[in-house]
């Protein structure tokens, strides 16, 4: 897998423990991404927003890294979250922005 260095430790542990499940999950992800015209950068920004909405710190970290790898600029990543203020509320967006900063400020 080309992104081996950026995969979260928990994902790697699950992939080792449940290889068939993770392979199926990876195949589903690939199939969904190929099902329409959304480019990889935009897909990761959408997934980042969803991760923020469900308050998943690990997924916010992961999709921040992947959005950067796909060419997203830090300002785009932050704006993707700011757009959520009226939907998920300022406290949730503020938390997600702090998780984004964990990655951007490394």
Q: What is the DSSP string of the chain?
A: -TTGGGS-HHHHHHHHH-HHHHHHHHHHHHHHHTTSS--HHHHHHHHHHHHHHTT-HHHHHHHHHHHHHTT--HHHHHHHHHTTHHHH-HHHHHHHHHHHHHHHT-
Q: Can you give the pLDDT at residue 9? A: 86
- For the domain bounded by 41-106, which CATH number is listed? 1.20.1290.10
Instruction: Say what the pTM is.
Output: 0.86
Is pLDDT at 7 greater than 50 in this prediction? yes
Please check the confidence at residue 81 and state whether its pLDDT lies above 90: yes
The arithmetic mean of pLDDT across residues 85-101, rounded, is: 98
Domain boundaries, the chain: 1-36, 41-106
For the segment 53-74, the average pLDDT, to the nearest whole number, is: 96
């Amino acid at each position: 897998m080309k992104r081996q260095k950026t995969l979260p430790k928990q994902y790697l542990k699950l992939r080792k423990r449940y290889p068939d499940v993770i392979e199926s999950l990876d195949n589903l992800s690939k199939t969904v991404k190929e099902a329409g015209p959304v480019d990889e950068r935009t897909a990761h920004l959408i997934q980042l927003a969803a991760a923020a909405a469900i308050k998943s710190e690990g997924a916010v970290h992961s999709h921040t890294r992947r959005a950067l790898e796909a060419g997203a600029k830090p300002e785009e990543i932050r704006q993707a979250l700011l757009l959520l203020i009226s939907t998920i509320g300022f406290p949730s967006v503020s938390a997600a922005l702090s998780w984004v900063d964990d990655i951007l400020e490394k």
